[in-house]
Chain A
Amino acid sequence: MRFTSSLYKTNHQLYRALVLGLMTASLLLSSLAHAQFWKQEQPELLPEDQAFVHDTRIEANDLVVDWLIAEDYYMYRDQFGIQSDVAGLEFGPAIYPQGVVEDDPEFGEVEVYFTEVSYRLPITKLPEQRGDVSLTLLAQGCNKPVGVCYPPQLRTISLDLSGVNQSSLNQSSLNQSGVDLSAVTASEQKANNSSSSQTNVDGFNAASTSQDQSFWAYLLAAFGAGLLLSFTPCVLPMIPILAGVIAGQENPSRWRSGWLAICYVAGTIVTYALAGWLAGATGTQLQAHFQNPWVIGFICALLLALAASLFGAFKIQLPSSIQTRLNTSGVSSRSASFSTFVLGLISALVVGACVSPILIINLGAAIAQGDPVLGAGIMASMALGMGLLLVAFGFGAGWLLPRAGAWMNEVQILFGFMVIGVAIYLASFINAVPALFLWAALLLWAGCYLLGLAARFHQPVMNGITKAASIGLIVWGCLCLIGASTGGDQVLKPLDNLAKSGTKKEKVPFQRVTTLTAAQALLDQAKAQQKPALIDFYADWCLDCVRMARTTFTEASVHSALADWVLIEVDVTQTNDESEALKQFFGVFGPPATLYVARDGQEVKGSRQYGYMDEQTFLARLTRAQ
């Protein structure tokens, strides 16, 4: 118990700091999305170095030039070239892949490339001095839909020729040894080598290599993101659940508890992978749709059952009929592993479904790629990153928990209370649930239980500590009861509404819209009145949206700060053409998202915010946006 609470405390500080950092990062990242969608009247064009990205490497004594071409952009084959001032370095005629043939009214048929192109320049002569050399790539391309062309590109590249094998020049050999690849990372080199045999057959390797690279890069990034997410409220509620499962075991060894944690994490990975697969296949954040009262209710029931089993009401295991049929020694342990896996499967749906900036960016990548496999990979990799903390906790818990006996029963019951706490926390997102009453009941119950426990301790120190804890819980419970009966709803600040009596807690007066036309009408109105506008993407199934609607947007300070603003709540609870059009227009992946629009009708650059914001953060953002 003490271990867990201290873990909470340090984690709380950690994740606050992290969330702050993530918010800063997301603020900056949001300018990414910004460029694409908002200003519709003027075509948005990429800078040339993003429209056409080059990469070069030496492979089998050929210079291989890769161009990654942004969507809607294309490049001309006959404009590719290379300039070399290096004495003695010569290239043979370039080998190009087949491009798309376009009929040009003036110049006849021209070959162009979309998406990517990789061509080879055979090195026919090497200079005496074989070290780093500097060359210039020539290329030229255009944007198709807008119909504009970029000026001829001159890209300076540097090559390390020291590894090129003089004797094998002019031969298309498969020999890779001794070839030093400059300006290429180790992982790329590996990917290139693996595809080199195919490369040399047709002299062209565009698709497979670079897709492999970006696939693994995505997975790695997602894994890192998952690690960061470990310290956010996405993962923390999972710890009491897992602790409850482990404590529910009879005499768990370190390996056993670690194994259970792995089973649990495996469950979450499966759920996330499925959500990612669906996101890639359908282009929506399906996971968010599971956050409805039915699913939350189901998971709460499951958690209550877990708590009941911790209280000793029953043991979680397979029905006895199945057990007798599989009457081997391993059955009960296997059934526990399986139920833990299922628990992970299900609890990932709700507990982990917080839309923090990183999750949005990850899913956004999967959606943008429209690739179910990539989507599943990204999300599974992220879940794996998130799960590492849980697995570590699992092993740690096996180490720290008391071995067996009467003590273990008490610990189980304490974890039972914590699991109920998680259930109430989840249930509180459903409007109809009187969460504070439930908290009061739980706190009073736990307090009374501790009081009874204290009586059994004969050692004065333990007795005192337990008594103090129990009295603390009882007082807190009473405060919650008072708060609840006067209409409060926050367990951490039960009397908040009493302290601010007189100011009734109401959400700031948002105008709710569900169509793009309505949203645009309000924006036009705001512009006409020379007022700034706040656009809040909201959905009933989005837990952080509901939380923000109840906390941040009810604060008196927020009320007064927003007095002059036109407040638009874009409700995307229903997924349909309209909600898609809204998301598309504003370039928002999903709720919660907050957009600030200046008096001139333009979105304030770089101000967009994804995810939950508390009162202070929101006010700071608001001031900055003005």
Chain B
Amino acid sequence: MSNQTKVLLSLVALIAFGVGAALNRGQVEPSSDAAPLLSAELEQVEPGAEPTSQVVRDSLGKLNLVNFWATWCAPCRHEMPLFETMYRLHKDKGFTILGIAIDNPGRSQPFLDSLDISYPILYAEQTGMTIMEQIGNPQGLLPYSLLLDDDGNVLEQKLGKIDEEQILAWLNQYGL
């Protein structure tokens, strides 16, 4: 085999390897440890009040849907009215929804107001990306949701929109 052929073949192999590796990286990892999320101290903005600091662990109820979203993410916006409905229907039983905005309050608040969102929203513009990266969504894709029990253990995780049936099934499966 001539040197040229060798170089050519190694180049082909190298490029192919790069492409293959890049394609196979960055999928949602199957298991996840939510510790970086639970210990995160994020900003909460109540209309007409000073922003407060809130640790995610302290906001947990019996069954928790943590939803990462942003205003620039159309599928995220589309599923939020459903979340609001489900929250109002089941919050008395201990079902909590926690929205984590990968966004800033200035852009988000008018949108939240227009939908009349009442479940708590925490802001994590950059830290949110880091958290997602650590807990199993390395590409920072949205919408991304986790179902946590009262101790913060991850029961389910989902990339992409969640529908009503899915939430009802989870409520059923995890005893609410």
Contact = CB atoms under 8 A, between A and B. Distances in A.
Nearest to A151: B140
Contacts, number: 118
Given A24-B13, A149-B75, A31 B70 contact: no
B20 A142 contact: no
B79 to A, nearest CB: 9
Interface stretch (B25-33, B34-42, B49-57): B25-33
Interface string A68-86: 0000000010010000000
Contacts of B141: 45, 148-151
A147 B74 CA distance: 8
Nearest to A605: B24
A105 B77 CA distance: 9
B169 interface: no
Contact of A43 (B1, B26, B144, B160): B160
Given A14-B1, A18-B5, A45-B141, A147 B160 contact: yes
For the complex, would chain B's binding face be called helix, strand, loop or mixed by DSSP majority?
Answer: helix
A50 interface: yes
A455 interface: no
A499 B54 CA distance: 79
B161 A151 contact: no
A135 B161 CA distance: 34
A45 B23 CA distance: 8
A43 B27 CA distance: 9
A76 B72 contact: yes
Given A21-B1, A21-B9, A76-B72, A47 B160 contact: no
B17 interface: yes
B1 A47 contact: no
B74 A142 contact: yes
Contact of A47 (B26, B70, B115, B161): B26
A296 to B, nearest CB: 32
B27 A28 contact: no
Interface residues of B, number: 41
A88 B173 CA distance: 61
A31 B20 contact: yes
Nearest to A102: B74
A624 B168 CA distance: 45
Given A21-B9, A43-B160, A105-B78, A151 B21 contact: no
21 contacts: A14-B1, A18-B1, A21-B13, A24-B9, A25-B12, A28-B16, A28-B17, A31-B17, A31-B19, A31-B21, A32-B16, A35-B24, A43-B160, A47-B23, A49-B22, A105-B78, A106-B115, A107-B77, A147-B143, A147-B160, A150-B141
* Top-5 shortest CB links A-B: A31-B20, A149-B73, A35-B23, A28-B16, A21-B9
Given A17-B1, A17-B5, 20 more contacts: A21-B13, A28-B16, A31-B19, A32-B16, A32-B19, A32-B23, A34-B20, A43-B160, A47-B23, A49-B22, A79-B72, A105-B77, A106-B115, A148-B142, A149-B142, A151-B70, A151-B129, A151-B140, A224-B8, A606-B20
